[in-house]
Amino acid sequence: MKSNKNLILVIFILALFTPQLILGYQNNSQKQKSVEKMPEATLTENSIPEPRQPEKELVKIPVTPGKTVSIPILMYHEIGEGPDCMWVTEKDFYNQMKYLHDNGYQTISLSQAVELLTGHYDTSKKVVLSFDDGYLTFYSYAWPILKEFDQQATIFIISKLVGTPDYLTWEQIRFLASNGIEVGGHTRTHPLLPTLSAAQSDAEITGGKQDIEAQLGKKINTFCYPTGKYNAQIVKQVKDAGYVAAVTMEQRKSFSTDNLLLMPRLGVYKDDPLDRFTAVTK
C-alpha cells in the first residue's frame, strides 16, 4: 500500500510540473522562431541596413604591355517566370551561376572590370553580371542564388520607379549595396534619351545620379543607357555627370580598347541553352 501511495505521489508531482515544462519548452521554441524572423524585420522602411561585408579582393595580374584584354559583361533584366524573352527562369539562372562557380569563374562589378581593363590586368575567368531597371525579382530570386554561389553583380536603377510595384525599394537597394552589390544609374524615368531636349536629358542623367547618391550616401560610378540608345551629346552628359563608365546593348565582349562610356554587353535571354551561356562567358 505504501509503495502504491508513493507511486501516486510521484505521478501527482509529475502531473503538476509536466505542463509547465511543456509550456516552458513551447515558450522557448516561440522565442527561437521570433529570433529567426529578425533578418526579414531588418528590411522594413527606415531600418538600418546590415553592416557591409568585406569586398572580395580583386586580384590584379599585369599582362604584356600593349596586349588587349577583354571581359564579358552579361545583361539580365528579370529572373523568374515571365511572358517575354527578358525573363530568365530561376532554374536557368541557378544553373548558370553553378556553372560559373564550379568552373572557377569570378564575377566582378562593372567598376572592378573598368579597373582591370584600364590597368591592363589579366581578365581571364572574370565575368560581369549586370541587371537593368532594378526589378523586384532581383531581390526575390537572383540575390539568394548569387549569395549561395558567392557571386557579385551590378544593378542599374531607374530612380523614380524605386518603390513602385515590381521594382526594388530604397531599403532593399541599400541592403544590397551594403552586401557587395554595385548600384549604377539608369536615369530617372527610362526615356529614350536622344529624343529629349538637352535640358531634359541632363535632368534624367544627372538627376537620376543625384537621387541614388542621396539615398545611398555615396557616389555611384556606372550608368546604363535606357534601351541602349545614345548620341554624342548624351555620352558627353553622362561623362559630365561624373560617371566613369557606361554600358550599351551592343552585343559583344568589352575590350580595353573600347570607350569606357560605350561598353558593349552580351544579353542573356529566356530559354538560352547552357552551352550558349558557357560560350559567351569565354
Nearer to Zn ion, 127 or 193 (CB): 193
Q: Which residue's CB comes closest to Zn ion?
A: 132
d(CA 181, CA 214): 17
d(CA 133, CA 186): 7
**Nearest-approach distance from CB 189 to Zn ion, in angstroms:** 11
**Nearest-approach distance from CB 188 to Zn ion, in angstroms:** 12
d(CA 9, CA 12): 5
Nearer to Zn ion, 133 or 258 (CB): 133
Nearer to Zn ion, 151 or 248 (CB): 248
**Nearest-approach distance from CB 225 to Zn ion, in angstroms:** 8
**Nearest-approach distance from CB 190 to Zn ion, in angstroms:** 6
Nearer to Zn ion, 116 or 132 (CB): 132
From residue 146, give the alpha-carbon distance in Å to each of 49, 100, 149, 204, 220.
19, 11, 5, 30, 21
* Paired residues of 255 in beta bridges: 70
Start-to-end CA distance of the chain, whole Å, equals 87
* Paired residues of 154 in beta bridges: 130, 182
Which residues of this protein are in contact with Zn ion, per CB under 5 A? 132-133, 226
Nearer to Zn ion, 184 or 226 (CB): 226
Q: Which residues of 38-48 are buried (b: 16+ CB within 10 A; e: fewer)?
A: eeeeeeeeeee
Nearer to Zn ion, 105 or 225 (CB): 225
For 55, the grid coordinates are 569586398
**Nearest-approach distance from CB 226 to Zn ion, in angstroms:** 5
Which residue, 258, 3, 218, is CA-closest to 113? 258
**Nearest-approach distance from CB 229 to Zn ion, in angstroms:** 10
